[in-house]
């Protein structure tokens, strides 16, 4: 029996920058997906995911069902289309990574399953290649045009450190989280769905802006005056991406230098940029970020793909439980929605 696992992640800075070849700063969360796998002699695949159901299919006959099982089929279809020889297997999946909360339950699932398959069939690829396979699986089979952040975070991250990833060359620098801070992550209870329109629309807008500026990607924007030539909506999209890349570098420096006050300011600035320039926030998420600040967090920002999902906040160590509780109660009173605290873990 093979056992493999992968953690969910929270992104600390750099939202919607990965598919623009920019910088991101995710860190794993303790919640994880565990896969137990037993190879079979034939080409049948049977997967039971606790809380989701069971699926069974033949290798090479992967058909989307538009549910959780697509992520499993995406793995086997992608491995086979990259020329990897596989056989069937039975697998059991358990996970405590919240789904639809913006903490990468899908990447945790894909990476854990790919790791288990890699071990079971002695496949020879490294963790970065594994992340790229997971991304291809999600883009080509599931149909969400996601960037590489989540898969790299799940594949290469360690608890207690953030990964400063340059998505232009996939280089990873490890940044230790200072001991003086604690992260608070609260799910707004409003669901996002990547395969749905918003995310892919933002991505298309960024590509259109890069084309209009005559650049290969928004990573190459140097001259902010050129934005005046763009329609106002595209100019706002570019302004978010450029300023967010700068904030990633500053946030990594603030983490290494233990400058928690600066980190909090950067969180707030990132939230404003996502809300005002990139239009990926929603009123509930704005209210949750405000509730976290009011409860004593040093800064709070929308994290993940947006259009709902979670807010991450930075708090002084020792205050995190009180901050999380007060913010959750205030938000629930105000919005009438049920929120869940993801960090600190229950
Ligand atoms: C989702 C995607 C990532 C990234 C974020 C936004 O989590 O999977 O690739 O684009 O949204 O920063």
100 in contact with ligand 1, CB cutoff 6 A: no
Helix (H, G, I), strand (E, B) or coil at 258: coil
Note whether 162 and 210 are same-domain residues: no
Mutating to test ligand 1, I would choose from 104, 134, 146, 193 the residue with most ligand atoms within 8 A of its C-beta, which is 146
Task: Choose among 171, 178, 177, 176: nearest CA to 152.
Answer: 171
Mutating to test ligand 1, I would choose from 108, 155, 199, 240 the residue with most ligand atoms within 8 A of its C-beta, which is 199
Task: Choose among 159, 54, 143, 56: nearest CA to 106.
Answer: 143
- Among residues 160, 175, 190, the one where a domain terminates is 175
Query: Which pLDDT belongs to residue 346?
Result: 82
The rounded distance, in Å, linking the Cα atoms of 64 and 136 is: 15
In the sheet that 299-303 helps form, which strands lie side by side, from edge to edge?
Answer: 299-303, 310-316, 181-187, 340-343
Query: Which pLDDT belongs to residue 193?
Result: 58
Q: What is the arithmetic mean of pLDDT over 287-314?
A: 97
% of the chain residues with pLDDT over 90:
93
Note whether 137 and 30 are same-domain residues: yes
* Residue 158 CA, distance from chain mean position: 15
Residue 187's alpha-carbon distances to 13, 18, 179, 246, 328, in angstroms, are: 17, 22, 24, 26, 9
Distance 48 CA to ligand 1 centre (A): 27
Give the torsion through C-alpha atoms of 272, 241, 103, 72, to 10 deg.
150
Note whether 240 and 272 are same-domain residues: yes
- pLDDT per residue over 29-61, tens digit each? 999 999 999 999 999 999 999 999 999 999 999
Residue 10's CATH number: 3.30.230.10
Average pLDDT, the chain: 96
Ligand 1 atom with least separation from CA of 203: 10
Beta bridge partners of 315: 182
Helix (H, G, I), strand (E, B) or coil at 118: helix
**pLDDT band at 256; cut points 50, 70, 90:** very high
146 in contact with ligand 1, CB cutoff 6 A: yes
Residue 192's CATH number: 3.30.70.890
Query: Which pLDDT belongs to residue 194?
Result: 55
- pLDDT per residue over 125-184, tens digit each? 999 999 999 999 999 999 888 999 999 999 999 999 999 999 999 999 999 999 999 999
Note whether 24 and 140 are same-domain residues: yes
Note whether 123 and 232 are same-domain residues: no
Note whether 183 and 323 are same-domain residues: yes
- Among residues 175, 195, 213, the one where a domain terminates is 175
**pLDDT band at 224; cut points 50, 70, 90:** confident
- Among residues 150, 175, 200, the one where a domain terminates is 175
Query: Which pLDDT belongs to residue 196?
Result: 61
Q: What is the arithmetic mean of pLDDT over 202-229?
A: 94
304 in contact with ligand 1, CB cutoff 6 A: yes
Note whether 188 and 134 are same-domain residues: no
Distance 74 CA to ligand 1 centre (A): 18
Domain limits for position 275: 177-343
Note whether 138 and 186 are same-domain residues: no
Query: Which pLDDT belongs to residue 220?
Result: 93
Mutating to test ligand 1, I would choose from 305, 309, 312 the residue with most ligand atoms within 8 A of its C-beta, which is 305
Note whether 223 and 154 are same-domain residues: no
Q: What is the arithmetic mean of pLDDT over 299-326?
A: 97
Q: Is it the case that residue 100 has pLDDT exceeding 90?
A: no
Tell me whether residue 119 is one of the annotated catalytic residues: no
Q: What is the arithmetic mean of pLDDT over 101-111?
A: 95
Note whether 221 and 91 are same-domain residues: no
**pLDDT band at 195; cut points 50, 70, 90:** very low
Q: How many domains does the chain have?
A: 2
Q: What is the arithmetic mean of pLDDT over 286-290?
A: 98
Note whether 201 and 126 are same-domain residues: no
Query: Which pLDDT belongs to residue 223?
Result: 85
Indicate the range of 51-55, 120-124, 223-227, 231-235 predicted with least confidence. Answer: 223-227
Note whether 31 and 158 are same-domain residues: yes
Q: What is the arithmetic mean of pLDDT over 181-188?
A: 97
């Amino acid at each position: 029996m093979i056992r493999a696992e992968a953690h969910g992640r929270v992104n600390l800075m750099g939202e919607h920058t990965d598919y623009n070849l920019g910088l991101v700063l995710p860190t794993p969360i303790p919640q994880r997906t565990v896969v137990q796998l037993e190879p079979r002699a034939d080409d049948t695949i049977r997967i039971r995911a606790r809380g989701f159901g069971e699926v069974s299919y033949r290798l090479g006959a992967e058909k989307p069902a538009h549910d959780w099982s697509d992520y499993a089929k995406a793995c086997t279809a992608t491995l086979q289309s990259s020329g990897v020889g596989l056989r069937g297997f039975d697998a059991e999946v358990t996970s405590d990574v919240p789904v639809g909360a913006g903490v990468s339950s899908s990447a945790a699932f894909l990476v854990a399953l790919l790791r288990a398959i890699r071990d079971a069939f002695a496949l020879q690829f490294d963790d970065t290649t594994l992340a790229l396979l997971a991304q291809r699986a999600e883009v080509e089979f599931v149909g969400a045009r996601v960037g590489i952040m989540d898969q790299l975070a799940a594949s290469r991250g360690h608890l207690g450190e953030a990964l400063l990833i340059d998505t232009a060359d996939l280089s990873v620098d490890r940044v230790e989280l200072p001991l003086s801070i604690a992260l608070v992550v609260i799910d707004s209870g409003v669901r996002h769905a990547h395969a749905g329109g918003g995310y892919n629309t933002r991505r298309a807008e960024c590509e259109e802006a890069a084309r209009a500026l005559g650049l290969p990607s928004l990573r190459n924007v140097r001259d902010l005056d050129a934005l005046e030539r763009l329609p106002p909506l595209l100019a706002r999209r570019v302004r978010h991406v450029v300023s967010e890349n700068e904030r990633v570098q500053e946030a990594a420096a603030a983490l290494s230098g233990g400058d928690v006050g600066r980190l909090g300011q950067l969180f707030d600035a990132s939230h404003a940029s996502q809300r005002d320039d990139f239009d990926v926030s929603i009123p509930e998420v704005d209210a949750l970020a405000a509730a976290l600040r009011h409860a004593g967090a040093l800064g709070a920002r929308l994290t993940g793909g947006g259009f709902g999902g979670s807010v991450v906040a930075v708090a002084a160590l020792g205050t995190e439980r009180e901050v999380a509780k007060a913010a959750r109660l205030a938000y629930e009173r105000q919005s009438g929605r049920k929120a869940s605290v993801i960090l600190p873990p229950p």
